[in-house]
Structure 1
């Protein structure tokens, strides 16, 4: 029983690590994930790798194809647009509930996260801004005080992570994002649920020129992955 539990924990660890490398572009879309190579590179047996890949396939990050094995999933523009539409609605729901339910300590944490984003914007540091932007959004999910909604929002946010990061590299998007954050914080602290929902929806949904910019940036994700894959350390 103990050995089985250790294997399960190791599979979970490998799944988390592979997922992180997929969503940050280290393993870019279309890349074949060879079990033997992964096991050797990560210093584990093939069993936890195989189990991890099966789990990742269940959430859409990996496709298991006959005779080809595991492939990092590629998302077409139409599917990507659909996912952002759902993400926008989930965030709107979180904002609406957060405006009603946020506690005083959570208000302080949200304000602090917003200030940290401002510092990253002023430093013109998109990678740090992206990390802090994630924290900002997750604080809103938590402030909804709806555990199921928080889980679903966090899961889709994770799935869209590489694409949201790319958006911040579009010219002036970081400054625009911060300005939108300010409006979101204002609405939540004013306990205006409908305004918070409206502003979060507009902040997240990708339409028109923003979608065109995102699609044009997608090749950067593969370039980033190929460059980072050469210098990935073992866990």
Structure 2
């Protein structure tokens, strides 16, 4: 059995790893770290003010999610955007999100249901304000809660491989083809349906959101001046 001090040290490191991951994920999703950029572990340690081990663990997770590529002795490359692959990703994402939504509607704790309502209300405020960064952060919180409330670790791991890539794609293209009020409203509706505990209406809310995201993706493919 681990000693209390060891457990405390592991908890602190896990917290730092989570902090490093969340900060790096947002920097990549918002393209502060641009696609194709070559990074170094030492630079990221200095930039975030977090130790090498948590940074390394966060980078390993980001690589599993497809947002970076670690090249031994060369550096860390932020992966390029590939709009055509987004439609393939959505085929898988729809089924995974419906599984998470239906499972969450059935299995979420009262605390988790309350958290869904808080996020839904925040999304409604974002819809009125059209705040893109606020939307991204609420979207991240909703993604994490959906994965948690389903109480299915395998589905949660699978959806984790998709969310970061999807969020970055949305951020890069939202100014030309996205409708933040509509997108926020669809997310808020999904959160409320899961909170209310009806798996079928939660699945219907997922379909509405995925239909919108599919049309958004197709619109970016049609746009003549989309970013590459």
Compute the TM-score of the two structures, normalised by the length of structure 1.
0.68
Q: What is the CA deviation profile of residues 51-83 of structure 1, one whole-angstrom value per residue up to 9, with x for unaligned ones?
A: 876665454323356996543211322222222
Which residue of 2 is the match for residue 130 of structure 1?
Answer: 136
- Does the C-alpha gap of structure 1 residues 140 and 62 become closer, same or farther in structure 2, counting only changes over 3 Å? closer
2:121 to 93, 110, 115: 115
1:144 to 150, 154, 157: 150
Classify the secondary structure of the residue corresponding to 1:74.
Answer: coil
Which residue of 2 is the match for residue 159 of structure 1?
Answer: 165
Q: Does 1:93 align with 2:99?
A: yes
CA drift at 1:143? 1.9
CA drift at 1:174? 1.6
CA drift at 1:138? 2.6
Alignment gaps of 5+ in structure 2: 1-5
Q: Distance in 2 between matches of 1:109 and 1:13?
A: 20
CA drift at 1:166? 4.0
Q: Distance in 2 between matches of 1:63 and 1:38?
A: 15
CA drift at 1:136? 2.7
Q: What is the CA deviation profile of residues 14-36 of structure 1, one whole-angstrom value per residue up to 9, with x for unaligned ones?
A: 97354443232112111223567
Which residue of 2 is the match for residue 229 of structure 1?
Answer: none
CA drift at 1:96? 0.9
- Does the C-alpha gap of structure 1 residues 72 and 115 become closer, same or farther in structure 2, counting only changes over 3 Å? same
Compute the TM-score of the two structures, normalised by the length of structure 2.
0.70
CA RMSD of aligned residues (A): 3.8
Q: Does 1:192 align with 2:193?
A: no
The structure with the largest alpha-carbon Rg is: 1
- Contact 1:95/1:200 (CA < 8 Å) preserved in 2? yes
1:63 to 46, 66, 69: 69
Q: How does 1:212-223 map to 2 (within 5 A)?
A: 212-215=218-221, 216=223, 219=227
Q: Distance in 2 between matches of 1:185 and 1:46?
A: 36
- Does the C-alpha gap of structure 1 residues 36 and 201 become closer, same or farther in structure 2, counting only changes over 3 Å? same
CA drift at 1:203? 0.8
Greater mean deviation of Cα atoms: 21-30 or 48-57? 48-57
Which residue of 1 is the match for residue 210 of structure 2?
Answer: 204
1:80 to 86, 103, 115: 86
Compare relative contact order (CA 8 Å, sep 6+) and give the higher one, 1 or 2: 1
Classify the secondary structure of the residue corresponding to 1:160.
Answer: helix
Q: Distance in 1 between matches of 2:61 and 2:190?
A: 35
